[in-house]
Amino acid sequence: MDENIETIKTGFMEALPLAIAIATYGLSYGVLANQANFSLVGVVAMSLLVFSGSVQMVAVAMLTTGASVASVLFTSVLLNLRNLLYGAALAEGLAPAKKWRWLLSFGVSDEPFVLGSSRFKKHGPDPLYFGIVIGTFYIAWACSSFIGALIGNQVDPQKWGLDLAFPITFVALLIPSLKGKPIIATAFAGAMIAISLEYLMPGNEFTIIITGVLAPLVGLYLKRGAQDA
Amino acid sequence: MLNHWILIGLLSVTTYISRIIGVEVMAGREMSPTLRLYFNYVPIGIIAALIIKQILVPTDGQLVISIPVLIGCLATAIVIKKVKIFLPSVVIGAIIGLLARYLLN
């Protein structure tokens, strides 16, 4: 029992700093979803049911730029591909949870993956820890989305700079991950492809999908080239 | 409005499937290293494209660079590179972008 309490405490304390960052992100999502004409219930329902920062932000941003449901869905599938890898890597650490794995799998994403895999490496399988981490993130995400959607109605986004939240948040997520030539080249290729597509067809809805499919090929080419050399 | 609810339903199902497949099905199976690498790079490409789409704003069929967004993004990039902490970087980037908008108007 004492061991479980210790695990709960550790999980919560280690998740807390990231939960604060997630909450600011959730606040931005709430405001942006509100601007994309989602109802308050819709904003919170998406957070409760999807629980994926990148997918939700991308969906809302794409809808704001006039994208169709089909293109949003296709882009989200591309974004979700990495969950396959996260899930496979976390599977052993979550194995003791047995049937609860179905519930814990709901939290497989970037931040829980980082904390979970690090914990499993040090302490072996620990589903309780993972559950506490994703529970903390889930509450932070749902509550902040709700607050963001509430204030979204009452503030002029341009006046308060809230329209800047989306690109700035993504820059803050992108920059720390730019390590190594293949990743930097992927980001650069992504930017170049997106600029070209936007110049050819301003405001078109395929830019993100085409870039998402093509840009990784550049990183892949460089990485394979380096491995073969 | 109905479209929004359809989208929420589809996104929740597809996102959950991507999560559960990894845990339940892919565990213990070998994935081609090439495919694994490709998946790793997909989010980078998509995020880069999203940033570009926010900086380049289509106006009357022409692309216009949003200078406040560009400055905000550059400021955020510099701050996160230096301090390596998410929250202050976002706040400082937003303040600088807002200041740029105020000064340019």
∠ Cα A77 A79 A84 (to 5°): 80
- Nearest C-alpha neighbor of A101 from the set A135, A133, A130, A136: A130
Task: Give the pLDDT confidence of B17-67 residue by residue, as tens digits.
Answer: 999 998 887 665 666 888 778 877 877 888 898 899 889 988 887 889 999
Please report which confidence band the pLDDT of residue B12 belongs to, taking 50, 70 and 90 as the band edges. Answer: very high
Confidence at residue A1, expressed as pLDDT on a 0 to 100 scale = 66
Cβ-defined contact of A85 to B39 (cutoff 8 Å) = yes
Contact A148, A29 (CB under 8 A): yes
According to DSSP H, which parts of chain A are helical? 2-35, 40-49, 53-64, 69-94, 101-104, 110-123, 127-152, 157-160, 165-174, 181-200, 207-228
Q: Which of A37-51, A64-78, A112-126, A144-158 has the highest mean pLDDT?
A: A37-51
Phi, psi of B94 (to 5 degrees): -65, -40
Confidence at residue A14, expressed as pLDDT on a 0 to 100 scale = 85
Contact A40, A149 (CB under 8 A): yes
Contact A208, A62 (CB under 8 A): yes
Contact B20, A103 (CB under 8 A): no
A1 touches chain B (CB under 8 A): no
Smallest CA–CA distance, residue A170 to chain B, in Å, is 6
Task: Give the pLDDT confidence of A17-63 residue by residue, as tens digits.
Answer: 778 878 888 888 898 898 888 999 999 999 999 999 889 988 998 88
Crossing angle between the packed helical segments A40-49 and A2-35, to the nearest 10 degrees = 140
Give me chain B's average pLDDT, please. 87
- Nearest C-alpha neighbor of B10 from the set A149, A140, A56: A56
Phi, psi of A108 (to 5 degrees): -70, 110
- The neighbour count for residue A56, using CB atoms within 10 Å, is 26
Q: In chain B, which among 78-97 make CB contacts under 8 A with chain A?
A: 80-81, 84, 86-87, 89-90, 93-95, 97
Alpha carbons A49 and B14: distance in angstroms, whole number: 11
Task: Give the pLDDT confidence of B62-86 residue by residue, as tens digits.
Answer: 889 999 999 999 999 999 999 988 7
pTM of the predicted model, to two decimals?
0.69
Residues of chain A contacting B8 with CB distance shorter than 8 Å: 42, 45-46, 49-50
Residues of chain B contacting A63 with CB distance shorter than 8 Å: 7
A117 touches chain B (CB under 8 A): no
In the predicted model, what is the mean pLDDT of residues A141-165?
79
CA-nearest residue of chain A to B68?
Answer: A164
Contact A93, A116 (CB under 8 A): yes
Please report which confidence band the pLDDT of residue A180 belongs to, taking 50, 70 and 90 as the band edges. Answer: very high
SS3 content of chain B, % helix, strand, coil (to 5): 80, 10, 10
Which token pair is A173? 């997520």
Q: Decide: helix, strand or coil at residue A4.
A: helix
∠ Cα A93 B35 A182 (to 5°): 100
Q: Decide: helix, strand or coil at residue B62.
A: strand
Please report which confidence band the pLDDT of residue A142 belongs to, taking 50, 70 and 90 as the band edges. Answer: very high
∠ Cα B62 B63 B68 (to 5°): 140
DSSP string over B67-81:
HHHHHHHHHHHHHHH
If you search the block for the tokens 């800047």, which residue do you land on? A164
Alpha carbons B87 and A8: distance in angstroms, whole number: 25
Of B10, B51, B63, the CB nearest to A199: B63
- Which of A31, A32, A168, A174 has the most B C-beta neighbours within 10 Å, making it the best mutation to test the interface with B? A168
Alpha carbons A138 and A19: distance in angstroms, whole number: 9
Residues of chain A contacting B81 with CB distance shorter than 8 Å: 175
Of A101, A104, A172, the CB nearest to B86: A172
